[in-house]
Every structure is written in structure tokens, then in C-alpha cells.
């Protein structure tokens, strides 16, 4: 990837540009970047897999029936035509399938974590515990970027995977910091998370902390896909745009005219900072759709992703669009990897290996024996346990060759 960093220019009054500088109508073409597309591929499966591990691990029993997991389909973000059971059976080294019979004697598929996955889960919990202060600071910085230091929990839920927040962050993390956060009732009936304390040390953007300021202005690192072919007119506009004053995402920007390039540079700065708060420097475009009012952004604010392809790459892979921060990657590798990213990569390798082994027919039906049979203590009334095994079959019905009602 070709990297360009335009040298910083001269000081220009924000007020002057607010009054005189209009939004230049420049359109830069979208060019496919196969390298950064590969960063996005597999993200949905990884998120769904780790979420399912957390859900199953949180149960007091040693397993959970499929109909309970099926209710989480929307939360998992899986394609509509992909059953949760089908997804689970793709990775028999992670999810172990067995059967319990309900009150009518019908065998019901259950799933639990394999010993290898339980070991991984405990490692993941330890890593999160070590990184909890950093994760809390990321959440604080996100709230500090908003005009009221507050966001609906629903909006935070959309970003919690990207920020590294736990699945049940409201009950497992936020509650531990009553001096920092408060849950409030919003006028529309939803519950919001409010930041109680401002920290000036956190109110510094990544751009401000990482790059020297000359003559009062900061510029974004820019990189284009090789062969992008930027026209001279666009290059000139970009150089002038880079020289405009930089507005920190942590300061009030209500005085800026949204129809100016100065305002657009502020919007770019907001999302540049937001992506730096994420663990993998990327997020789905849909995840930021509810941030317009809290971040005081104009209508159609997501157009900046298309107008600045040298800063953001908009991947069309999958059923959605994903925004990737170009500067954070050296080809398809994150330049700086958070410990939680490293643990996710380990799990991704586990998923890949399990999928390949299953494709090669290495997982076959196996009876586990009476001793393990007794180890399951069900908390679901009227359900009894039967034969359990790793499954290599793709449907929910007709899978229990034999079962024994207790």
C-alpha cells in the first residue's frame, strides 16, 4: 500500500474558514482492496463463536439446549439462513454436542464446551481481567466524545465487540465503577449510560498524541491502494484540506458550519478517533448510524468514508459494509495488537482447525459412557439426559440413534 503523509502547513483561523471556506465538491472513486478485504472476512464467524462460548460458559449446568441458543440468533449476527445448530456443528473441537430427552421422551440436541475450549475461555477471562482498566478507558473516551457524555445502552451494545466490552457489560463491568458510570432512564424509554467524571488526561485524541503539531494544524496519515491513480485536481484539494485546522473530537464543535471543509475535517477526526478506540481498528458502518446526534454530526455524515478513501477503506465483504482504518494495518496485519486481539486470533485458529478437521472426517460419533452421563446436572425441569457424542450430521432431527430416558 502506497503511504502519503502531506507535510503540515500554515496556521489558518478556524473562524475564518468557518465563514469563508465551503465544502468542496470532490468525488474520489472507490477501489477494491483485496488485502484489507481479507481483514474483514471471517469476522462474523469469530464474533458469533466467541459469543456462544461466553453464553455456554455462563451456564451453571454443563450444557445448554439448542432452543435456548437459537433465541440468540440475532445477537450473534449470523446470516438469516444459517441455523445456530449448523454453525455449532462446524466446529466440533469447540462445541460438543450431546442429547437429552424432554418430558415426552424426544431427544433434544444440547451443546457444551470441549475441554480445550474451557481452557481457552479461562485464558480469555484472565486476559480481560488484566486489560479491564484499558477497556473501561475506551468506554469513557467514547462517552466523552458525545455532547451529553451519554449514550443509549443499545448503541453501546452495537460497539461492544469492537471496543472489547464483555457480552453482559452492564451487569459484569459497568456496575463495578459507580464513581464513573450511571444508568439513566432516557425520554424515549430506553436505558442510557452516563459518564459521571471527565478526565482531562483522556481528552487527547490519538492523532494529537501521536503526531507533532506545526503551525497549529494536524494532518492525517494517508495511504491509497496501489494503482489508485489520484487525479491532480483531487491531490491538490487533499493537500489543501490537510492544511485546515484540526478540531479535537473532545471539544465542543457546535460553532462549526456543517457546510464547510473545516467541519468535514472534524467529522473525519471523530471517526479516526472512534476507530482507534476499537481493538481491531474497524467497525461495521451500521454500528455508527445511531451516533449522529450524540456526536453532533450533520445529515449524511457517513459520506466522509467515501470522500476520504486514503484514510478509511470501505469494505463491501459480507452482508454489510465495514469501515477499516488504513493506517492501522501493514498489509493485512494490525501494526499494534491489543492482548484481546491476540486471544481472538488464537480462537480464530481453533475455529479454522476444527472446521478443516471436520471436513476431513476426523470427527465421528462417539458414546461417552455412563460416568460422564452422570456428570450433567440439568436445571431445565422435565428434561432427561441421553447418549451424547460429537456429531458430523447437519440437521436438528433424527440425530439420536439411541437414547435412554431416565
Can you give the pLDDT at residue 299?
A: 86
- What is the DSSP annotation of 252-263? --TTS-TTSHHH
Say what the pLDDT of residue 390 is: 35
User: What is the pLDDT at residue 241?
Assistant: 92
State the pLDDT at residue 4. 36
pLDDT tens column, 22-51: 666 667 778 899 999 999 988 889 999 999
- pLDDT, tens digit, 9 for 90 and up, residues 229-274: 777 778 888 889 999 999 999 999 988 998 899 999 999 999 999 9
- Give the chain's count of helices (H) and strands (E): 15, 14
The per-residue pLDDT for 347 is 96
Q: Which residues of 354-386 are buried (b: 16+ CB within 10 A; e: fewer)?
A: bbeebeeeebeeeeeeeeebeebebebeebbbb
Between CA 274 and CA 266 the distance in angstroms is 12
State the average pLDDT over residues 131-157: 96
Query: The C-alpha cell of 3 is what?
Result: 503511504
Tally Cβ neighbours within 10 Å of residue 310. 23
* Cell numbers given for 77: 449476527
Higher model confidence: residue 212 or residue 244?
244
Whole-number percent of the chain with pLDDT over 90: 60
Q: What is the pLDDT of residue 184?
A: 95
364 pLDDT band (50/70/90 cuts)? low
Short-list 142, 109, 131, CA closest to 295:
142
Using CA atoms, how far residue 171 sits from 174, 198, 345, in Å, is 6, 22, 26
Which pTM was predicted?
0.82
348 has a pLDDT exceeding 80: yes
Handedness of CA 61, 66, 67, 72 (dihedral sign): positive
pLDDT average, residue stretch 219-223: 92
Tens digit of each residue's pLDDT (9 = 90 or more) over 331-342: 999 999 999 999
What gap in Å lies between CA 316 and CA 33, rounded to an integer? 10
> For all residues of the chain together, what is the average pLDDT?
83
CA distance 206 to 311: 14
Which of 155-169, 264-278, 388-402 has the least mean pLDDT? 388-402
The more confidently predicted of residues 106 and 150 is: 150
CA distance linking residue 83 with residue 148, whole number of Å: 40
pLDDT of res. 60: 64
Lowest pLDDT segment from 120-124, 305-309, 357-361: 357-361
Number of C-alpha atoms within 13 angstroms, CB side, residue 282? 28
Q: How many CB atoms are closer than 10 A to CB 75?
A: 13
Could you tell me how far CA 153 lies from the centroid of its own chain?
Answer: 15
For residues 173 and 170, give the distance between their C-alpha atoms in angstroms, rounded to a whole number: 6
| DSSP secondary structure string for all residues of 335-380 | SS--HHHHHHHHHHHHHHHHHHHHHTT--------HHHHTT----S
Amino acid at each position: 500500500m502506497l503511504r502519503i503523509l502531506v507535510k503540515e502547513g500554515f496556521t489558518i483561523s478556524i473562524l475564518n474558514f468557518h465563514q469563508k471556506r465551503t465544502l468542496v465538491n470532490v468525488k474520489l472513486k472507490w477501489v477494491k482492496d483485496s488485502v484489507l478485504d481479507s481483514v474483514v472476512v471471517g469476522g462474523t464467524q469469530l464474533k458469533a463463536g466467541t459469543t456462544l462460548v461466553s453464553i455456554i460458559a455462563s451456564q451453571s449446568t454443563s450444557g445448554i439446549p439448542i432452543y435456548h441458543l437459537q433465541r440468540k440468533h440475532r445477537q450473534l449476527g449470523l446470516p438469516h439462513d444459517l441455523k445456530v445448530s449448523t454453525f455449532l456443528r462446524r466446529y466440533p473441537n469447540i462445541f460438543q454436542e450431546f442429547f437429552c430427552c424432554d418430558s415426552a421422551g424426544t431427544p433434544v440436541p444440547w451443546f457444551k464446551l470441549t475441554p480445550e475450549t474451557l481452557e481457552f475461555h479461562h485464558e480469555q477471562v484472565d486476559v480481560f481481567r488484566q486489560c479491564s482498566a484499558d477497556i473501561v478507558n475506551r468506554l469513557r473516551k467514547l462517552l466523552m466524545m458525545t455532547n451529553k457524555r451519554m449514550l443509549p445502552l443499545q448503541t453501546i451494545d452495537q460497539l461492544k465487540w469492537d471496543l472489547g466490552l464483555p457480552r453482559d457489560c452492564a451487569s459484569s463491568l459497568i456496575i463495578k465503577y459507580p464513581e464513573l458510570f450511571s444508568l439513566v432512564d432516557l425520554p424515549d424509554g430506553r436505558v442510557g449510560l452516563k459518564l459521571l467524571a471527565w478526565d482531562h488526561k483522556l481528552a487527547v485524541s490519538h492523532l494529537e498524541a501521536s503526531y507533532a503539531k506545526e503551525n497549529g494544524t494536524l494532518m492525517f496519515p494517508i495511504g491509497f491502494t496501489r494503482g489508485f491513480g489520484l487525479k491532480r485536481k483531487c491531490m491538490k484539494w487533499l493537500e489543501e484540506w490537510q492544511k485546515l485546522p484540526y478540531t479535537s473530537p473532545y471539544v465542543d464543535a457546535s460553532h462549526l458550519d456543517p457546510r464547510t471543509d473545516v467541519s468535514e475535517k472534524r467529522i473525519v477526526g471523530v471517526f479516526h478517533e472512534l476507530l482507534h478506540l476499537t481493538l481491531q481498528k474497524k467497525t461495521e458502518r451500521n454500528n455508527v448510524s445511531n451516533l449522529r446526534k450524540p456526536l453532533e454530526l450533520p445529515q449524511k455524515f457517513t459520506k466522509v468514508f467515501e470522500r476520504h478513501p486514503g484514510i478509511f477503506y470501505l469494505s463491501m465483504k459480507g452482508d454489510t459494509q465495514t469501515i477499516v482504518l488504513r493506517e492501522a494495518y501493514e498489509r493485512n496485519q494490525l501494526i499494534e495488537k491489543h492482548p484481546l486481539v491476540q486471544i481472538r486470533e488464537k480462537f480464530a485458529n481453533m475455529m479454522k482447525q476444527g472446521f478443516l478437521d471436520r471436513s476431513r472426517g476426523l470427527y465421528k460419533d462417539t458414546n461417552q459412557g455412563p460416568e460422564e452421563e452422570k456428570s450433567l446436572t440439568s436445571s431445565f425441569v422435565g428434561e432427561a439426559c441421553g447418549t451424547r457424542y460429537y456429531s458430523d450430521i447437519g440437521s436438528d432431527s433424527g440425530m439420536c440413534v439411541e437414547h435412554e430416558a431416565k
